[in-house]
Amino acid sequence: MKVITTKNEMKALSDSFHQRDEHIAFVPTMGNLHPGHMQLVEKAETLAPKTIASIFVNPLQFGQNEDLDSYPRTMERDQQLLELGDVDILFSPTREEIYPDETSNKEVIEFPGLSDVLCGASRPGHFSGVAVVVKHLFETVQPDVAVFGEKDYQQVLVIKKLVQEYKLPVEIVTVPTQRETDGLAMSSRNGYLSEQERQTAPLLYQTLCQARDQVKAKAGCFSAIEQQASEVLTKAGFKPDYFSIRHADDLSEPNEGETRLVILAAAWLGKPRLIDNILI
Ligand code: PAF
């Protein structure tokens, strides 16, 4: 696996692949890789002859009181995993390489109604930071296809919108959320859970499954189902941020009777804020 740290070198290599008509599948990450990331890599490998992964802990998507400084940086281990996973190229730029000056640090890309609701409401600027870095990465790596996990459902919709609005020639492919055996969605932030919190954590997904079953059985209006689920989580020790039934395509608030739905939840459990979702 070749490791590249500069945009110029990355672009030149991608140019050479395109000249030879070798398509590129791309998996952007912030490192601290877990089996969920490796599923994205596996998917990428089925989509194109060249697989590129990136590791860049993007400061623009962290709020002031969030865990940018303590976010686990595990480059050596990540590199070994990607190597074992047969990735062709790892792009791991420095902060200065992606954001060379004050102006590049201040770029904002918002999609009102999509990037400022749910996680976007609780983490102002987060999805703008994601959109800005993904645009930089796509322009540098020039992938034909990029692979993202469905656990970050809202992020996927923001990235699809980014691709559409900026006419970026990249196909977005998603991979179902990878779960531990007890149902907890795999996440880099699960490592922050204490032993006891780790026992409680799968309740988030169980509550989503229950709410899905209630929606399907029409056992109550959406707001009553949401409220009941939040109460279950609170009783178990979570601090719910939101538990929300939304339109699956654009996260707008659905009318009762709507069928293309997704249920999304975010809740603190001790230090980490866990997110998960379920499609109906
Ligand atoms: O999902 C992530 O790990 C990040 O948000 C991403 C897409 C790599 C952008 O920094």
| Cβ–ligand 1 contact at 158 (below 6 Å) | no
**Does the pLDDT value for residue 104 go beyond 80?**
no
Question: How far, CA to CA in Å, does 25 sit from each of 147, 155, 240?
Answer: 7, 19, 36
The residues, ordered by sequence, that sit 6+ positions from 46 with a Cβ below 8 Å of its Cβ are none
Lowest mean pLDDT among 61-70, 112-121, 135-144: 61-70
CA distance 28 to 152: 13
Cβ(175) – ligand 1 distance below 6 Å: no
For residue 243, pLDDT over 80 is answered with: yes
Does residue 127 carry a pLDDT above 80?
Answer: yes
Q: What is the CATH number of domain 2-175?
A: 3.40.50.620
Options 23, 37, 126, 136, the catalytic residue:
37
Active-site residue, 37 included: yes
* Nearest atom (ligand 1) to Cα of 58: 10
Token reading at 48: 């194109």
- When pLDDT is averaged across residues 246-263 and rounded to a whole number, the result is 95
Average pLDDT over residues 193-218: 97
- What pLDDT is recorded for position 173? 98
278 lines ligand 1 (CB under 6 A): no
* pTM, entire model: 0.96
Q: How confident is the model at residue 154 (pLDDT cuts 50, 70, 90)?
A: very high
Work out the percent of the chain whose per-residue pLDDT is above 70: 100
C-alpha of residue 105 to centroid of ligand 1, in Å: 17
Q: 87 and 80 in contact (C-beta within 8 Å)?
A: no
What pLDDT, on the 0 to 100 scale, is given for residue 65?
A: 86
DSSP 37-62: HHHHHHHHHHH-SEEEEEE---GGGS
d(CA 251, CA 103): 31
pLDDT band at 277, cuts 50/70/90? very high
Indicate if the pLDDT at residue 102 is higher than 90.
no
- The residue extents of the domains of the chain are 2-175, 188-274
Predicted pLDDT of residue 254: 97
Chain-centroid distance, C-alpha 59: 15
Please tell me the least confidently modeled range out of 28-42, 91-105, 106-120, 155-169.
91-105
Is any atom of ligand 1 closer than 6 Å to the C-beta of 159? no
pLDDT at residue 49 in the model: 98
Q: Which two tokens stand for residue 210?
A: 């229950």
Residue 10 to residues 4, 140, 242, 245, Cα–Cα distance (Å): 6, 6, 40, 41
Provide the CATH topology of domain 188-274.
Answer: Pantoate--beta-alanine Ligase; Chain: A,domain 2 (3.30.1300)
For residue 246, name the pLDDT band (cuts at 50, 70, 90). Answer: very high
Query: How far, in Å, from the CA of 174 to the mean position of ligand 1?
Result: 13
Estimate to the nearest angstrom the gap between the alpha carbon of 122 and the chain centroid. Answer: 16
Mutating to test ligand 1, I would choose from 78, 147, 155, 187 the residue with most ligand atoms within 8 A of its C-beta, which is 155
Cα torsion angle, 215, 216, 219, 220, sign: positive
Say what percent of the chain tops pLDDT 90.
Answer: 93
Q: What is the mean pLDDT of residues 199-208?
A: 98
As given in the structure block, the two tokens for residue 137 are: 């990465």
Rounded Cα–Cα distance for residues 34 and 247 (Å): 30
Residue 275 CB neighbour total at 10 angstroms: 22
> Residue 105 has what pLDDT?
78
Q: Please work out whether the CB of residue 141 comes within 6 Å of at least one atom of ligand 1.
A: no
pLDDT tens digits, 1-48: 999 999 999 999 999 999 999 999 999 999 999 999 999 999 999 999
pLDDT of residue 211: 98
The Cα-based distances of 37 to 27, 33, 43, 174 in angstroms read: 8, 6, 10, 12
Looking at residue 222, its amino acid is F
Instruction: Say yes or no: CB of residue 130 within 6 Å of ligand 1.
Output: yes
Burial-class residue 263 by CB neighbours within 10 Å (0-12, 13-18, 19+).
buried
